[in-house]
Structure 1
C-alpha cells in the first residue's frame, strides 16, 4: 500500500497566488466556452452567419475577441505546467517517484477528458492537457534558458501551420474549397439543421454530432495548435514557477510593469487583428493567413499581463473579497470546469431547456455573470466544510490509491 507521505497537498502547503490565478483563469475561460455552447459553431470565427450584429453584440464580440480569446486558456496552460513541476518536486522531496504518480494522474485525466468530450461537450481541454502533460514532464529538467527557447519555437509553429492552411485554400479545386468554406460560412439550410439539433434533437443525435466534432478537435486542432502551443506554454509555466513569478515573490514594481507591458502589447496586437478580420468581413483565407495571427501572438503577452495584474492586486491586499473568491474557485478548478459544462448543457441543449441560439452575445454575458456568481459563492461555501471539490477528491483517490480526507472535521494523521 502507498505510504501516507504520498497524500495530496495539505492546505497550508498550497500556494495562494496559484489558486487565485487558477480561479481567475477558469472563470475567464467561460466567456469563450459559453459561445461554443450557445451559438452555431461557425459563428465563433464568423459572427455574421447569425445576421448583422447589433451595436451591443458587436462590442461584446470585440471585447471577447480582443481581451479574452486565447488569453485565459494560456494562463491555465501556464499554471498547468507549473503544477506539473510542483507536483513532481513535492513527491520527490518525500522520497517518492513523482514521475510515476504524475503518469498515473495524467492517464486518469485523459479518461475524464474523454468522458467529458464525448458525453458532455466537444470543446474539452482535458484530453489535450493529459497528453501534453505526459510530454512536458519529459522536458522539465532542461535549463530554464532552453525551456524559454523551446517555448518560443513551439509557440510559433502553429502560426506557420495556419498560414499554410490559409494558402492551401487558394489552391484547392473549386468544389473542394466550397465544401471547406461551408464549415465557416454555412448556408441557411445547414444553419437551421444545427440549431434544430441542439434545440429539439435527441440526446443520441447530439452525441453523434459531438463525436464527429471531437474527431476534428482531438486530431486536427490538437496537431495544428494544442500540441505545440500548450507544450511550449507549459514549459514557460515551469520557468515562471522556479523564478518566483507565479508565487508572488517578485516586487510590486515588477508585477506592475508586467501588467502594463503585457496587457498593452497584447491588446495592441489583438486589436489590430480584430479590425483586419472585420475589414475583410471574416473572409476565411485572410483569417488563417493573417487575421488570426495577430490575436494568437498577442495573447501570450496579454496572458502574462493579466498574471502580473492579479498578483499585484493580491500583493496590495485590495479587493480581497474577489481574490478570496478566485482562490476558492481555483482550489476546485477541476470540479468547477466540469460543472460549467454541465450547467451550460442544461441551459442550451435539448435535453435541458433547449435555449441554443436563442440569446444574443450580450445576453450570454449576463449568463456568464450568473454562473460566475454561483461558482464564487458555492465554492466558498463548499470549502468551509470540505478540503477539496468532489472531482478533485476522486482524481486524487485514483492517483494515490488512497482515500484523501474530504471533511474539514477530519484531520490528516
Structure 2
C-alpha cells in the first residue's frame, strides 16, 4: 500500500444522514485484528487484577497487599512485569488506532466525514466516564476517546508522517517518563544522602508518598465495606478530573502508539502485506531484547525490595523504551501466527475480540461483584496466586459466552449499542 489516502472528502461538510450509512459488516472485518484484540482484552485483566482485588498501591508494590502477597521473592511480580504489564495496553492502543482508520476508510467510502468518527468518540467518552465514576477507576476508554479526538486531525497525513511522528512522539515520551526515575534515585540510593538539600528533598518525597497512600484509604474502605455511595462520591468529588488529566500523563504513550497503529494498518501490517519471515524475525527480536531489559529492571527492583518509588520508576520510566520493543514484537508475532490459530480455541479468542468492548466493561462489572463489600466482599482477601485463578476463571467466562452469542447475534451487546448511538438508528441485532 502506498501513501495515498481515501478518496477526497470535505470533512467540513455536514455529516451524511445515518440512514445512508451502514456499519462495518462481518465480511469487512480483518480476522487478525479480532484475534489480537481477543488476546489483548484477556491479557489486560491479568494486568489489572491486582488493582481490582487489592489497594491500587499493591499494583506497583507487593508490600502493599492487605494479606501476604503469596510471592515471597517477587518472581511472579517480575514475570507479570515482563510479559503483561504495559504490553496489553500497548496492543490495545495500536489496535485502537488501526480501528479508527479502518472505520474511517469505510465511512469515507460511504460518503461520511470525520464528524462521524468524532461523534463516535464522544459516545465512547460517555461510556468511559460512566465506567470510571460508577464501576472502576482504572478506565482506559475515556483516555482513548480524548486522545482519539486529537488523532482525528492526523488521519490524512501520509503513512510515513504518521509513523515517524508516532515514533518521535514516543521517544519524547521516553524522555518525559525518565524523570519518574529521579524520585527513586533520591529516596532509594546514596543520592539522597549526598547533601542536606537532597536529604530534605528525600524526606519531602517520602512524606508525599505517605500522603498519597493515606488518600487512598477512604477508597479502599468504601470498597471493602460495600459503601458504594461513598465510593462514587469520592470518585466524582476527589477524582473527578482524573479522566481528563490522564491525557497529559499518558498521552505521550497513547497518542504515538495510535499513530503507529494507523501507519501499520495502512501499510498492510495486519492483513498480510509483510512477509511472515520478517514478522517472525522482528517479533522475536523485539520480544527477546525487550524481555531481557525488563528482566534486568525486575531484578533491580527485587534487590531494591520492591520499594514504592522504585516500582513506580520501573513501570513508568525504566521500561518505557523496551516496552515499545515488546509491544511491536508481540504484535508482529501475533500477526504471523494468527492465521494458524484455526481450532476451536482460536475461534473463541476471535469471538472475544469481536466483543472486546463488552468483555472489557463486563469484566469490570464481574470484578465488582467479586470484590466489593456489598457483593462477595473479596477485596483485600486474595493473594497474587489466588488473583491469577480469578483471571483464568474470567478468561473461561469470556471464551464461553462470546462465540455462542455471536453465532446468534451480529454484535456484542455493547458493540451493538455503540453502533446504534453512533449512527442514531436501531440496527437489527439478531442474525
TM-score (norm 2): 0.86
Mapped partners of 1:313, 1:54: distance in 2: 34
CA contact (8 A) 1:8 1:404 kept: no
Mapped partners of 1:289, 1:313: distance in 2: 33
How do residues 386-397 of structure 1 correspond to structure 2 at under 5 angstroms? 386-397=409-420
Per the alignment, do residues 282 and 262 of structure 1 end up closer, same or farther by CA in structure 2, a change over 3 Å counting? same
How do residues 283-362 of structure 1 correspond to structure 2 at under 5 angstroms? 283-287=307-311, 292-315=316-339, 317-318=340-341, 320-362=343-385
CA contact (8 A) 1:23 1:329 kept: yes
Mapped partners of 2:164, 2:298: distance in 1: 28
Matched, 1:66 2:94: no
Q: How far is 1:305 from its partner?
A: 2.0
Look up the match of 1:411: none
Per the alignment, do residues 358 and 213 of structure 1 end up closer, same or farther by CA in structure 2, a change over 3 Å counting? farther
Look up the match of 2:191: none
Mapped partners of 1:77, 1:168: distance in 2: 28
Number of residues paired by the alignment? 402
Look up the match of 1:241: 265
Per the alignment, do residues 337 and 13 of structure 1 end up closer, same or farther by CA in structure 2, a change over 3 Å counting? same
Matched, 1:205 2:230: yes
Q: How far is 1:272 from its partner?
A: 1.4
CA contact (8 A) 1:162 1:288 kept: no
CA contact (8 A) 1:273 1:291 kept: no
Look up the match of 2:391: 368
Give CA deviations for 1:148-196 in whole Å, capped at 9, x if unaligned. Answer: 2221232133333334355468567567433322167x48xx8876654
Per the alignment, do residues 57 and 86 of structure 1 end up closer, same or farther by CA in structure 2, a change over 3 Å counting? farther
Mapped partners of 1:270, 1:175: distance in 2: 29
CA contact (8 A) 1:42 1:183 kept: no
DSSP 3-state at the match of 2:74: helix
Look up the match of 2:98: 82
CA contact (8 A) 2:147 2:247 kept: no
Mapped partners of 2:79, 2:316: distance in 1: 15
Mapped partners of 1:168, 1:264: distance in 2: 29
Mapped partners of 1:264, 1:247: distance in 2: 24
Mapped partners of 1:336, 1:7: distance in 2: 24
CA contact (8 A) 2:133 2:232 kept: yes
CA contact (8 A) 1:106 1:130 kept: yes
CA contact (8 A) 1:113 1:127 kept: yes
Q: How far is 1:94 from its partner?
A: 1.7
CA RMSD, aligned part only? Answer: 2.5
Matched, 1:257 2:269: no
Where does the alignment leave 5 or more consecutive residues of structure 2 unmatched?
Answer: 1-15, 187-197
Alignment equivalent of 2:209, drawn from 172, 177, 181: 181
How do residues 118-157 of structure 1 correspond to structure 2 at under 5 angstroms? 118-157=133-172
DSSP 3-state at the match of 1:264: helix
Alignment equivalent of 2:297, drawn from 273, 281, 293: 273
Matched, 1:403 2:419: no
Per the alignment, do residues 290 and 383 of structure 1 end up closer, same or farther by CA in structure 2, a change over 3 Å counting? closer
Per the alignment, do residues 115 and 292 of structure 1 end up closer, same or farther by CA in structure 2, a change over 3 Å counting? closer
Look up the match of 2:10: none
Mapped partners of 1:148, 1:382: distance in 2: 37
Alignment equivalent of 2:107, drawn from 69, 91, 95: 91
Look up the match of 2:400: 377
Q: How far is 1:43 from its partner?
A: 1.0
Per the alignment, do residues 87 and 57 of structure 1 end up closer, same or farther by CA in structure 2, a change over 3 Å counting? farther
Per the alignment, do residues 398 and 358 of structure 1 end up closer, same or farther by CA in structure 2, a change over 3 Å counting? same
Per the alignment, do residues 24 and 220 of structure 1 end up closer, same or farther by CA in structure 2, a change over 3 Å counting? same
Mapped partners of 2:316, 2:126: distance in 1: 32
Alignment equivalent of 1:17, drawn from 24, 29, 32: 32
Q: How far is 1:285 from its partner?
A: 4.6
Mapped partners of 1:290, 1:39: distance in 2: 20
Mapped partners of 1:277, 1:213: distance in 2: 31
